[in-house]
Amino acid sequence: MKPTLTTERLLLRPVRSEDALHLVDLDRAPEVRRFVDQPEAPTLEQCRTVVERMLGIDASTPAIGFWIAEERSQFVGWFHLKPPREGEPAEAGDLELGYRLLQRGWGRGLATEGSRELIRYAFETLGAPRVTAVALEGNVASMRVMEKLGMRPWLRWEYRARGGGKVPAVTSAITRECR
């Protein structure tokens, strides 16, 4: 069973079906979609499908998957810790860290705080050998978060976007020994 994790300001809890309403608010914001592969604002039905996919990943891998991030009982975004997607660079045993936050959560260290807790969980509880994170090259803020976490660029590559194009991306990584 996936645990609920807490930090100084965040509650990271398992995803629930009703979280689709939160994802609509998050993913409709153009500034949020700017550095993710989601060119169009989603509908509520599309967000329900995403939540069902998140719940499916969580059910098949109960200790990892997606967490909803709340600050003072208010939705602020989501985090994930899961195997990298097929086609993304990875080594055996890697877990990929990711997050998406509402704009009101930006610039306040929440991405670093939630990510630090998931990295701790990955190494101390799950015994993961390495945690990776992917950012599109233009996403300087996410690359800065990775740097604050002690992650180092591992590989530059071309991410295959939904529309078929390729976008420069960076995978950064941290090992248990280097944290």
User: Is the pLDDT reported for residue 35 higher than 80?
Assistant: no
Confidence band of 131 (pLDDT split at 50, 70, 90)? very high
Identity at 141, one-letter amino acid code: A
pLDDT for the residue numbered 7: 98
What's the pLDDT at 99?
A: 97
- Of residues 149, 150, 143, the one with CA closest to residue 35: 143
Handedness of CA 121, 122, 124, 127 (dihedral sign): positive
Crossing angle of helices 110-120 and 140-148, rounded to 10°: 50
Quickly state the pLDDT bin for 23 (edges 50, 70, 90): very high
Q: For residue 172, list its beta bridge partners.
A: 133, 153
Give this prediction's pTM. 0.93
Q: What is the pLDDT of residues 81-100, one digit of tens each?
A: 999 988 888 999 999 999 99
Cα dist. 18→52, 149, 179 in Å? 10, 31, 36
pLDDT for position 40? 82
Sign of CA dihedral 48, 49, 52, 54: negative
Instruction: Return the CATH class of domain 5-178.
Output: alpha beta
Least confident of 32-36, 79-83, 171-175: 32-36
